[in-house]
Amino acid sequence: MTKKIMTLLFIVPFISLALKAQNDSSLVISNIKSNSGFVVIDGNFNNCIEIGKKDTLVVPTKIESLTYVQEDFKDVTVNQKLTAGDTTENTLVSAFLANNTDRRKYSSYARCFWDANLIVLTDYDSKIKINGQYLGSENARMSLSEGSYILNIENGNTTLKKEFIVSDDFQIIDSYLRPSKSQVFKRSFIPGYAQITKRENFKGFVFIGISSALTISTALSVINSEKEKNKYEDLRNEYRLSQDPNRILQIISESNQALDRIEKSDKIRNYSLLGLGLVYTLNIVDGIKPPDIGFRSDRLYVKPYVDFDKDLIPKANIKIDF
């Protein structure tokens, strides 16, 4: 008898705890579109709970929201008001994300693989600083609280400064100081664009300004030439019909003036086109030249690393840059 009483005294506290846990919890059935995904309680992405289709979760009634995260679908946040012991069913209507750009922007899928809400990528020898604190080079992965931050990328005398805001969205910030050679080559066909890409802003704006001025000059000269040609044709028609000698002499004088203006406009057009061609050629030649810091590394570079592919799925790889 004494043994039975002792057993009951040992079991009763655990039964009480179980009943208390049940009273503070609720069941949530989650109907998601994909076969698997994650649920995040109150925005805590450091604790992603893996779920499948129509899985049932036991969650505390004190929670405020559940965020459903799926690989190819937009995040869905459901504000929850739960009652202890009840069962709630969440049927999700998630937008399908067809491309990687939308996945980066609208899906937090990667955050359930990384203990971070921000990844900064830059050149292999560039320093990464946030709010003045050095965080490493080449890449940095971190979890920051919501707010505004200042990012500095430094490589010798070349620096990049930008302000960014951290929110619930997973962010990847590409902050390369060295431009891609192929990118610069493509942009060299637009006056000034390659120079700005290489952070040679003054030179880029000079090319943009001169090219714009010559383009406007060409367009205006063509317009003025056509205007004077129309005027000259009107004078010729009037000359054929006029019987007033004084008016005929005036028409001849005005016609000669119109021809002079046509010739002048055509010369301006030709010189503007010639100048535009020279500036455009010079822009391409200067655009494809490497910047002082050089193009992005073409050297053989091998090291093990952990990275993510275009779908933001983390992968362990060997990095080989040729």
Tell me the pLDDT tens digit for each residue of 225-276. 999 999 999 999 988 888 888 888 998 999 999 999 999 999 999 999 999 9
Domain 118-178+300-321: which topology?
Immunoglobulin-like (2.60.40)
In the chain, DSSP finds a helix count (H) and a strand count (E) of 6, 16
Q: Could you read off the pLDDT of 187-231 as tens digits, one per residue?
A: 999 999 999 999 899 999 999 999 999 999 999 999 999 999 999
**Residue 137 vs residue 316, higher pLDDT:** 137
Can you give the residue ranges of every domain in the chain? 28-112, 118-178+300-321, 186-287
Query: Residues in the chain, how many?
Result: 322
**CA separation for the pair 267, 238 (Å, rounded):** 28
The pair of three-digit structure tokens given for residue 128, joined into one six-digit string: 């990464």
Using DSSP, state whether 87 is helix, strand or coil: strand
Strands 87-91 and 133-137: unpaired
